[in-house]
Amino acid sequence: MKPTVWHNLNLCPHGDPDVTILDGAIAVQDDGTIAWLGAQRDLPSLYAGWHREDLKRAWVTPGLVDCHTHLVYGGQRADEFAQRLAGASYEEIARRGGGIVSTVRATRAASEEALFAQSAERLEALLAEGVTAIEIKSGYGLDLESERKMLRVARRLGERYPVTVYTTFLGAHALPPEFAGRADAYINEVCDRMLPALADEGLVDAVDVFCERIGFSLAQSERVFEAAERAGLPVKVHAEQLSNMGGTQLAARYNAISADHLEFLDEAGVLAMIESGTVAVLLPGAFYFIRETQLPPLDLLRRHRVPVAVSTDCNPGTSPCTSLLTMMNMAATLFRMSVPEVLRGVTVHAARALGQAGRHGTLEAGRQADFAAWRVQSLAELVYWFGRPLCSRVVRAGHTVYQMRGD
Ligand code: DI6
Ligand code: FE
């Protein structure tokens, strides 16, 4: 790559719309890292002769981070959606052997190639909206081989596409049918066999548990956290989505990097998160799709200054969504998050939810040049529009990896 100065742009380097540089420039050296950024008029003469790329007055933000996805899975669940429209609840469908378990059947049956192909289509949609880092969970395999297949697909996506993939082992997502009535035995399998093997193979960056009435109990979740600790891996948790079970407090005791969903979180849970530095990940897509009415306790989170991230939760059951921009709009309309909160929620705070605040979510000299250029007049438009393509360019490690037609 030629050393390049990106210019004719407005810059929002920290994902904070209150800190901007009008008529800015970014100098990117040939190794794909940022040499300098600032106002065009202050560009050091050292960079004056570098190749130039004109961003046509676009707003530039850090590449977006989608910090909670189940992007890799087989099949889809439109039929179940239809059943829900006819009156069945998500929990009823799960108890009838539908829900997560039906995706488990489809994921187990899919070849690694087929799984890669259908997941890649979803990933491409996210990349066209400026996502340059993403978390991908397992949890639709629920046996060693199928969990391995999912995680391998996730890793391969990160090798074949211009995106940094962080993998999360979610073996404790649901009880596989062959363990019906034997949840503790399944947790043994997760802790003693699956997690150690997959961690040894380098397929796991973090460990997650679905701590919920229809998922796993506090005691079972704790066993998984202990196993993660033994493997030296950070933990995250799906907690307080359908009820308040105290999963967040438990995860905080294991220094969880994030606690996700959180509609039913109470103040004790929030206080525990501050102690442990846990990020709250809010998932408006799931809230919307299951027509939840309990709002996450944003005022409490604000009052206690808990960092809040926003993500797609891309999954076939509760958030069949491949648009982080749409989630940004929903975080504002449904949860009443402000524009700055939303923008930080998909940049700095999302990076922190992955334990990667040092690598993603802000633009600084010395960091990899991962940024998105937006065809908007103001940053608020990123939250205002929904269903409208806004991303004119995605640059990863200094290379243009996506360009809007006509840009
Ligand atoms: N919470 C969710 O919203 C998803 N998983 C989870 O633990 C739902 C996954 C699914 O229904 O397939
Ligand atoms: Fe999820």
**Predicted local confidence at residue 336, as pLDDT:** 98
Q: What is the number of the ligand 1 atom nearest to the C-alpha of 100?
A: 12
User: Residue 95 has what pLDDT?
Assistant: 76
| Angle, CA 327 vertex, CA 55 and CA 283 arms, to 5° | 135
Sign for the CA dihedral angle at 55, 5, 384, 130 comes to: positive
**Cβ 103 under 6 angstroms from ligand 1:** yes
Alpha-helix residue ranges (DSSP H) falling in 207-296 = 218-231, 247-253, 267-276, 284-289
User: Residue 33 carries which DSSP code?
Assistant: B
**What average pLDDT does the structure give for the chain?**
97
Rg, C-alpha atoms of the chain: 21
312 in ligand 1 pocket by Cβ < 6 Å?
no
Question: Looking at residue 301, what is its pLDDT?
Answer: 98
Please determine, for residue 399, whether its predicted confidence score (pLDDT) is greater than 90.
Answer: yes
Ligand 1: does its nearest atom lie under 6 Å from the Cβ of 318? yes
Band of residue 288 on the pLDDT scale cut at 50, 70, 90: very high
Q: How far is the CA of 100 from the centre of ligand 1 (A)?
A: 7
Please give the pLDDT value at position 326.
98
**For 322-376, what is the HEC assignment?**
CCHHHHHHHHHHHHCCCHHHHHHHCCHHHHHHCCCCCCCCCCCCCCECCEEEECC
Q: How confident is the model at residue 341 (pLDDT cuts 50, 70, 90)?
A: very high
Hey, what are 375's tokens? 């065809």
- The single-letter code of the amino acid at 129 is E
Q: How confident is the model at residue 90 (pLDDT cuts 50, 70, 90)?
A: confident
Separation of alpha carbons 97 and 277, rounded Å: 37
- The DSSP-derived string for 150-188 is HHHHHHHHHHHSSSEEEEEEEEETS--GGGTT-HHHHHH
Q: Whose CA is nearest to atom 7 of ligand 1?
A: 210
Task: Give me the pLDDT at residue 168, please.
Answer: 99
Q: What is the pLDDT of residues 49-62, one digit of tens each?
A: 999 999 999 999 99
pTM of the predicted model as reported, rounded to 2 decimal places: 0.97
- Report the share of the chain in percent with pLDDT over 90: 95
pLDDT number for residue 268 = 97
Average of per-residue pLDDT across 361-368: 98
> What's the gap in Å between 286 CA and the centre of ligand 2?
8
pLDDT (0 to 100) of residue 52: 98
Q: How far is the CA of 68 from the centre of ligand 1 (A)?
A: 11
For the residues 266-285, what does the mean pLDDT come to?
Answer: 98
Cβ–ligand 1 distance for 398 under 6 Å, the answer no
92 vs 251, more confident: 251
Confidence of residue 219 (pLDDT cuts 50, 70, 90): very high
Average pLDDT over residues 64-86: 95
How sure is the predictor about 1, in pLDDT bands with cuts at 50, 70 and 90?
confident
What pLDDT shows up at residue 266?
Answer: 97
pLDDT value at residue 93:
87
What local confidence, expressed as pLDDT, does residue 96 receive? 79
Best CA proximity match to 364, nearest among 351, 377, 381, 345: 351
